[in-house]
Structure 1
Amino acid sequence: MTTTKWEFDPTHSELGFKIKHLMITNVSGTFKKFDVKVESENDDFTTAKIVATADMSSISTNNEQRDAHLRNADFFEVEKYPSLVFQSTKIERIDDDTFYVYGNLTMKGVSKAVKLNVEYSGLTKDPWGNQRAGFIITGKINRSDWGVTFNGVLETGGLMLGEEVKINSEIQLIKAVAVEAA
């Protein structure tokens, strides 16, 4: 058996989310600083062990005032909880290009099981001879499950922010090291 380590390519990857605002549109955001570590048996991603970590202070919604609010105690308390961590526990193949990745998402000191949808875009060789793999990751979580409960009631009776957060990410990995087991 060969263990393959995959390096994360931050210049061709994105960790994003969307949340309903005023019940009529979505606000999108990303984490500007994050890392993904992957090890698999050979090139078989159904065997992958995945750890993704996001620097919560790097949250960006393209509005500095809103971003500062997201970093404070109303939302993520980034001084107390500086990282968001996802650690895979199981990968289920649906078909050649579709997987469910199960794991634990830890945010604000709370760890909960989540299921993410993964579309495998395939393997390719880049112009420098490196083997690369691409993935599109989507999913939904309820923010209040992690103690992110800030909200406001609108004049019309609705809520300022939705509870559901949609995860939308694209990850590119570079094959780094393949080591034969002794």
Structure 2
Amino acid sequence: MATTKWAIDPTHSEIGFKVKHMMFTNVSGKFGTYDATISAEEDDFTKSSIEFSANIDSINTNNSDRDNHLKSADFFDAENHPKLTFVSSSFTNIDDENYELAGDLTIHGVTKPVKLATEFSGLMKDPWGNTKVGLNIEGKINRKDWGLNWNSALETGGVLVGEEVKLNIELQLLKQ
């Protein structure tokens, strides 16, 4: 079988996350600069290889003070760990549209296995004849598992930053 290469269409993709702030609301953020190497046998993503990286310096939560704190040694330590990476180990079919993407996620110099629920929207041609694939990837991780431990206690009890981080990744891939 022939190997097909895919690229992320950055104008139709978003690498996002949410984390609880003060125990009752979510703060959303995203990474603006990222790259991936994706290949599959023909158009079969169950036989694929995915390597992804995001630049920590591109984090954006719509608050520059918070973004700078996230880049600091209290959290991501962008100076010493400028990228987060993901390398897939499997892409398993659950049913017609749902898959499980498994692999190793490296953040802050720590690598841990993760499993992410993935909705595969199928193959489609855009109006210009390009073949595209849509993936919606979701999952949850505990930031402390990757050494992102900083927090601050609240006077009313609880903490400023939640431990659970919800990942919400929308990808539109372009067949090369």
User: Is the pair's TM-score, using the shorter chain for normalization, greater than 0.5?
Assistant: yes
Matches within 5 A, 1:18-167: 18-167=18-167
C-alpha deviation, 1:36, in angstroms: 2.1
Q: Give how far 1:166 is off.
A: 0.2
The answer as to whether partners of 1:71 and 1:77 remain within 8 angstroms in 2 is yes
**Contact 1:10–1:35 (Cα < 8 Å) also in 2:** no
SS in 2 for 1:113: strand
Runs of 4+ in 1 over 2 A off after TM superposition: none
SS in 2 for 1:95: coil
Question: 1:165-176 maps to which residues of 2 (within 5 A)?
Answer: 165-176=165-176
Partner of 1:15: 15
Tell me how far 1:102 sits from its aligned partner.
0.6
AA of the residue aligned to 1:115: K
CA RMSD of aligned residues (A): 0.7
Return the alpha-carbon distance in structure 2 between the equivalents of residues 11 and 133 of structure 1. 14
Task: Report sequence identity in percent.
Answer: 55
Letter in 2 for 1:75: F
Counterpart CA distance in 2 for 1:171 and 1:88 is: 15
Contact residue 121 and residue 133 of structure 1 kept, 8 A? yes
Residue aligning to 1:180: none
CA distance in 2, matches of 1:86, 1:115: 11
Post-superposition shift, 1:154? 0.7
Number of aligned residue pairs: give it.
176
Could you tell me which amino acid in structure 2 is paired with residue 6 of structure 1? Answer: W
5+ residue gaps, structure 1: 177-182
Unaligned runs of 5+ in 2: none
